[in-house]
């Protein structure tokens, strides 16, 4: 498959991080993928750091990955895609029975503790939730790559359409200043990276295509660096590219990956490399790391965890 909240306000996330240029105290980039952890026979999908710990979703459950590559199964399940940090837990997109035509309403947003547990259902009634990203005000955005909608989940678990009109939205990430949400189109004849302006009240403006990718490359997850560059996983091309959103130009390219799915920058001071990008693999058995020579922009967290 390619694929009780506290609502304080609806402001988009903001970052106090320096958004100046390189080197960001990082060594020179080496864009050769290095395996971090293996043994995932059915592949991995979601990837997120929470409280400095790295997690990935696989068809059989939620795994924690240690800096030395050790893996620990934290929660067993049958369906999970995107992950996002949420206090002492993780937000999890559960698509239910996946349908390519975007039908159905059995998709859910869950929250699960970092050390495991059954998980709590926060919202339901979505067709095929895929990627998850928090806003700075307590809402959670959920994309559905089988349609054209990005949903918002509010403090009471109510699901509404936040934006309609981006074809097959998948990975999402905020610009360092919190004023733009980026997303990519996966199942589209013209796969693209989109920039969605968001005002101070959290209301989205008109999406604009930043750049398009080769047909069939299947853009999947994305991550934004501290300089504002957007790193996009081109799943079926086996590559990750960095796009400068100001020009639409590709400035860096990582090759030799097996079906890259989700991306996350290493957490500071945890044994993981904060100047590296970590990459899950939809059809491969390895989670990789790539020394990209840049640090990640601040990732907003969802509502407080369990």
Cα gap 43→28, rounded to integer Å: 30
Q: pLDDT class for 22, splitting at 50, 70, 90?
A: very low
Round the average pLDDT of the chain to a whole number and report it: 89
Is the pLDDT score of 20 beyond 60? no
Read off the pLDDT band of 1 (50, 70, 90): very low
Lowest mean pLDDT among 62-71, 97-106, 220-229, 230-239: 97-106
Residues 6+ apart with CB under 8 A from 131: 81, 82, 93, 142, 143, 145, 169, 170, 171, 172, 183, 221, 262
Within 45-119, residue ranges assigned H as helices are none
β-strands 30-37, 83-86 pairing: unpaired
pLDDT of 133 above 90: yes
Q: Which pair of structure tokens corresponds to residue 124? A: 């339901």
Q: Which of 306, 9, 48, 12 shows the shortest CA–CA distance to 154?
A: 9
> Contact, 85 vs 301, CB < 8 A?
yes
- Write the pLDDT tens digit of every residue in 209-257: 999 999 999 999 999 999 999 999 999 999 999 999 999 999 999 999 9
Q: Using one digit for the tens of pLDDT, what is the confidence trace for 265-288?
A: 999 999 999 999 999 999 999 999
DSSP per residue, 143-203: E-TTSSEEEEE-TT--EEEEEE--SSEEEEEE-TTSSEEEEEESSSSS-EEEEEEB-TTS-
pLDDT-based confidence at 292, cuts 50/70/90?
very high
First-last CA distance in the chain: 29
């Amino acid at each position: 498959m390619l694929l009780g909240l506290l609502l304080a306000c609806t402001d988009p996330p903001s970052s106090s991080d320096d958004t100046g240029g390189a080197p960001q105290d990082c060594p020179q980039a080496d864009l050769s993928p290095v395996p971090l952890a293996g043994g995932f026979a059915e592949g991995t999908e979601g990837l997120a750091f929470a409280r400095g710990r790295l997690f990935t979703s696989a068809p059989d459950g939620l795994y924690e990955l240690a800096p030395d590559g050790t893996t620990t199964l934290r929660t067993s399940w049958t369906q999970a895609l995107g992950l996002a940090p949420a206090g002492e837990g993780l937000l999890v997109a559960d698509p239910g029975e996946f349908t390519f035509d975007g039908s159905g309403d059995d998709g859910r947003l869950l929250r699960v503790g970092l050390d495991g547990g059954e998980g709590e259902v926060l919202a339901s009634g979505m067709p095929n939730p895929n990627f998850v990203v928090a806003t700075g005000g307590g809402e959670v955005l959920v994309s559905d790559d089988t349609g054209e909608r990005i949903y918002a989940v509010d403090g009471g678990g109510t699901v509404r359409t936040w934006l309609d009109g981006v074809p097959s939205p998948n990975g999402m990430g905020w610009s360092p200043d919190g004023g733009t949400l980026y997303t990519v189109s996966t199942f589209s004849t013209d796969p693209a990276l989109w920039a969605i302006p968001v005002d101070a009240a959290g209301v989205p403006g008109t999406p604009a295509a930043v750049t398009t990718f080769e047909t069939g490359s299947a853009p999947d997850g994305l991550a934004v660096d501290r300089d504002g560059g957007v790193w996009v996983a081109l799943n079926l091309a086996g590559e990750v590219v960095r796009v400068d959103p100001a020009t639409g130009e590709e400035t860096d390219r990582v090759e030799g990956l097996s079906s890259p799915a989700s991306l996350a920058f290493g957490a500071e001071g945890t044994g993981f490399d904060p100047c590296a990008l970590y990459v899950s693999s939809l059809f491969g058995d390895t989670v990789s790391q790539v020394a990209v020579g840049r640090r990640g922009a601040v990732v907003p967290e969802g509502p407080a965890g369990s």
